[in-house]
Chains A and B, each alone.
Chain A
Amino acid sequence: MKLTGEEVERVARLARLRLSPEEQNSLANQLDEILEYMQKLNRLDTSQVPPFTHAVEIVNAFREDKVTNEPNVDALLANAPDKDQTFFRVPKIIE
C-alpha cells in the first residue's frame, strides 16, 4: 500500500487542515510508514473477538437536567476571537 499525496489532501480536507505541497509529501511518507507498521494487527484473527468498550464496567451516568453553572456572558465572551455585544461574531455561514 502506498499513500498518495492526493489521498493525504482528501483526508486533510475532511479534517479541515490546509497543508502545503511539501507537507503533503512528507506526511504521505510518514503516514505510510506508520500505517505499514499497523498492518501487524492483521496477523491476529479477531473474527470472534468483541470490540473493546470500557475498561471498567459502568452504566449510563444519568443526572437531573438542572442548571448548575451561572450564566456569565462576559466570562464566556472574554475568549472570543471576535464578538459583537453579547454575540460571537463568525464568518458568514450561509451564502
Chain B
Amino acid sequence: MNLPALTIDQASAMLRNRELTSRELTEAIFDRIAATDEKIRAYITLCREPALEQAKAADERLRREDHPPLLLGIPIAIKDNFLTRGVRTTCASKILGGFAPPYDATTIKTLRAAGAVFTGKTNLDEFAMGSSVENSAFFPTRNPWNIERVPGGSSGGSAAAVAADQCIAALGTDTGGSIRQPAACCGVVGLKPTYGRVSRFGIIAFASSMDQVGPMTKTVKDCAILLEALAGYDSADSTSVNRVVPRYRHELTDDIKGIRVGIPKEYFVSGMEPEVEGAVRQAVTVLEKSGAVLEEISLPHTEYAIAVYYIIATAEASSNLARYDGMRFGYRARAKDLTETYMLTRDEGFGPEVKRRILLGTYVLSAGYYDAYYLKAQQVRTLIKNDFDAAFERCDAIVTPTAPTTAFKIGEKSEDPLKMYLSDIYTISINLAGLPAISLPCGFDSAGLPIGLQIIGKHFDEPTVLRIAHCYEQSNDWHQRKPNL
C-alpha cells in the first residue's frame, strides 16, 4: 500500500483500526521526502527525530484512548511562518537568522494537543510576500507536476508537499491568495477561512487585517477535518471571533439542490487562459446538473482590488516588519552606531521583494500621501465589501477560477513585480472582504498542469463552501491524480 498517498480520513481510520501505526506512516512519509525532495525542495527544515517521537506518543495514545482525535498520529507539514517551539522558524528570510521560537502558535498548540505529527517547516516567499516561492531567501520550490514551473505562493512549499505526498496534509496562511493560488497550481485543496475564524496568534505577521491560517489537503473532506481542529476562539488574538465551530465534516452532503451559485461577470474577462476558463465553465455546468441554481452576479469594483490590496497590505507590512531591528532576536549586522546597525541589518536581512513592499508601504503612509493612497484604498475596500454584500443577497456562494493561468515557469514573472501581482486577481478581493474561500482541482490543461476552482462563501459560511466543493469533488477524479515523480 502506498502509505504517503493516504488522506487524513483514510489514515485516521486505519490507525484507529490498528491496521497501521503512526510510526509506520511517519517513516513512510520521511522515505517519500528522502526520495523526492531533492527535486521539489518543499521543506526548509525537516523534523524527523521529533516527528518519530510524536508518532510513538500517538501510537501509545491510540492504544489507550477510546475516542482518539482524528488528527492523532497524522503527519502534517507546517509553513515556515508558524512559530514552533524550539524548532527553527525562518519565514524564508535571512533576517530571522537561527531564530527558534520560545513558544508555539495557538494553532500549533492545538494540533499538538490533538496528537498530530509535525514533519517539518515548508518553504514560502519571504514573509509570505509573493505568488511563486521564488522570493524565498533560500531556494525556490518546484511544482511536482512540472519541475520547470513554480508551485504558486506564498504557501508553495506546503502545496508542493501535499501534492508530492510528502505529508498527509499541511498548514498554510493566506493574505491575498497564498493558500488558494498554490493549491490551484499544485492540484490540491486549500481553504482560507473567514477572517477571525482561526487564531493568528504566533503566525509571523504580514498584513494583519487579512492574514488567515488554513488547511491544505488532498480532499475536501480532509479540509473539513483539519479546519474543524483549527477553528475557534483565542483570547490571545484580538480579532478572533467567539462563535460556535460547526462540525464541518458532517456538513458534507452530496445534496446542493437549490443552492444559489453566483457567477461574477467581471471575473470572466481577458487575461484568463482559455483552458482555465473552459475548465471552470465545465465545473459550473456540473454544479448546475447537481441541482445548484446559477445566478449571474456583478462585483463591479473587482478591477480596483489589486491596487487596494497592494496599498493596504504593504502599509501593514511596513509597520509589522519594523520589529526586525536586530536587537532582541534574529540577524544583526555590525556597524558603527545604532542607526547604521538598523539600516545594515535590514539591508542585509531582507530580500528585494520585501524591501520593495516596505518602501511602498512606508511611502503610502508617509506625510502628504496618507489620504491619497491609504485612506483612498480603505474607502474603496468598503466598496469591494459592499459588492459582496449585495451579491450575497442573490446567491449563497460564488464560483470563480482561482488563478487566471496554470503554474507559470520559474523566472517568467520574477523581473516584473506588477505582472506577478496580477496573478492574484481572483483571490485578493476575498481577503479584502474577510470572506471564506476554497480552491479545489477542476481539471488539467493540455500541458498536464492542474487548474483550480474557487468557491467563495458568506462570512462564517464555510459549511456551504465545503458542501459545494465536496459535491463537485464527487463528480470527478481530478483529486486522485498524482504527479509522476
- A interface, CB within 8 angstroms of B: 8, 11-12, 14-19, 23, 27, 30-31, 33-35, 37-38, 40-42, 44, 46, 49-52, 54-56, 58, 61, 63, 69, 72, 75-76, 78-82, 88, 90-93
Cross-chain pairs A/B with CB under 8 angstroms, 18 sampled: A11-B362, A11-B366, A15-B322, A15-B362, A19-B347, A23-B355, A31-B363, A38-B311, A41-B308, A44-B301, A46-B379, A51-B379, A55-B385, A55-B433, A79-B329, A81-B331, A88-B327, A90-B327
One of B241, B304, B318, B421 near A15 (C-beta < 8 A) = B318
Size bracket, chain B contacts: 35 or more
With known contacts A52-B381, A56-B196, A11–B238 Cβ distance under 8 A: no
Which residues of chain A come closer than 8 Å to B417, judged between CB atoms?
30, 34
B332:A82 contact, CB within 8 angstroms: yes
| CB of A65, distance to nearest CB on chain B (Å) | 12
The A-contacting residues of B in range 260-280, CB under 8 angstroms, are none
Which residues of chain A come closer than 8 Å to B373, judged between CB atoms?
38
The yes or no answer to B342 lying at the interface (CB within 8 A) is yes
Task: Specify the chain B residue showing the minimal Cβ separation from A52.
Answer: B381
The yes or no answer to B341 lying at the interface (CB within 8 A) is yes
The A-contacting residues of B in range 414-461, CB under 8 angstroms, are 417-418, 421, 432-435, 459-460
A79:B383 contact, CB within 8 angstroms: no
Interface SS of A by simple majority: loop
Interface SS of B by simple majority: helix
The yes or no answer to B485 lying at the interface (CB within 8 A) is no
Closest 5 CB pairs of A and B: A55-B434, A51-B378, A81-B332, A79-B329, A52-B381
A50:B379 contact, CB within 8 angstroms: yes
The yes or no answer to B307 lying at the interface (CB within 8 A) is yes
Which residues of chain B come closer than 8 Å to A33, judged between CB atoms?
418
| CB of B312, distance to nearest CB on chain A (Å) | 8
The yes or no answer to B43 lying at the interface (CB within 8 A) is no
B99:A41 contact, CB within 8 angstroms: no
One of A12, A27, A51, A91 near B382 (C-beta < 8 A) = A51
One of A55, A90, A91 near B459 (C-beta < 8 A) = A55
